[in-house]
């Protein structure tokens, strides 16, 4: 599998989950920019050419993954957003249109297949 020169911001407040997610995305061939909260993620987005944001729903501070995703869908709609959560399953109306959602622990193969469907991976 090979990512197509895609940069992914990985926003996750749990350092161990962040490290695992970064590792699996890099193994798929993506460049990753890790962030421990939505503000770090926004910093990466402002300073880099970002294609995908892979973001936890429940993060510390006053900006969670849903708010970040909604803001990105409105301001930078070309960035694809993937939301994840181990604690909640957002209602259909809570996930901004066009965003993917994976419940933790997510299946790496399922994520990869979704990325292939969206043209982010060349093949499985």
For residue 103, is it within any domain?
A: yes
User: What was the pLDDT predicted at 117?
Assistant: 86
Q: What is the CATH number of the domain that holds 29?
A: 3.40.50.2300
What per-residue confidence (pLDDT) applies to 123?
Answer: 55
Instruction: Quote the tokens at residue 46.
Output: 């402002």
The pTM of the full predicted model, rounded to 2 decimals, is 0.87
Contact criterion met (CB below 8 Å) for 70 and 52? no
Domain count within the chain: 1
Does residue 82 belong to any structural domain of this protein? yes
Q: Which domain holds residue 12?
A: 7-117
Residue 109 lies in a domain: yes
Helix intervals (H) in 1-124: 15-27, 38-47, 65-75, 108-117
pLDDT at 44: 96
Per-residue pLDDT of the chain (124 residues; tens, 9 = 90+): 455 588 999 999 999 999 999 999 998 889 999 999 999 999 999 999 999 999 998 887 777 888 888 888 888 989 999 999 887 665 545 777 788 888 888 888 888 888 888 887 765 4
Q: Would 44 be classed as within a structural domain?
A: yes
């Amino acid at each position: 599998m090979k990512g197509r020169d895609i940069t992914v911001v990985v926003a996750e407040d749990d350092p161990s989950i962040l490290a695992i997610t970064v590792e699996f995305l890099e193994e798929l061939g993506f460049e990753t920019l890790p962030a421990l909260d939505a503000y770090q993620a926004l910093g990466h987005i402002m300073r880099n050419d970002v294609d995908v944001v892979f973001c936890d729903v429940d993060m510390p501070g006053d900006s969670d993954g849903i708010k970040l995703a909604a803001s990105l869908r409105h301001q930078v709609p070309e960035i694809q957003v993937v939301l994840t959560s181990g604690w909640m399953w957002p209602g259909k109306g809570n996930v901004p249109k066009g965003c993917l959602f994976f419940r933790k622990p997510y299946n790496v193969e399922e994520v990869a297949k979704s990325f292939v469907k969206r043209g982010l991976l060349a093949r499985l």
